[in-house]
Amino acid sequence: MTFDLEIRDESIRLGQLLKLSGLVDDGAHARAVIEVGEVSVNGEVEIRRGRQVRVGDLIAFEGNTLRVVQA
């Protein structure tokens, strides 16, 4: 399933984005799934929680794809 996620600023950290989307419950859960390689950004596995995600990026996690769009 693909859905758009609006952000207000130019970028957002990956961990924050996962929390904002509701795909994870909290920062600890976000950190855990990112560190074990369960999240990809633009088709590449990302293990950095602080990775800056920008408008147009695609984030995949647990069968869901988020498209980052400007609010």
The pLDDT value given to residue 44 = 98
- Cα–Cα distance measured from residue 48 to residue 35, given in angstroms and rounded to the nearest whole number: 7
The pLDDT value given to residue 29 = 97
pTM (two decimals): 0.92
**Chunked in runs of 10, what are the mean pLDDT values of the chain (71 residues)?**
93 96 96 97 96 98 96 91
Domain count, the chain: 1
The pLDDT value given to residue 1 = 83
Expressed in angstroms, the distance from the first to the final Cα of the chain is: 21
Q: What is the CATH number of the domain that holds 22?
A: 3.10.290.10
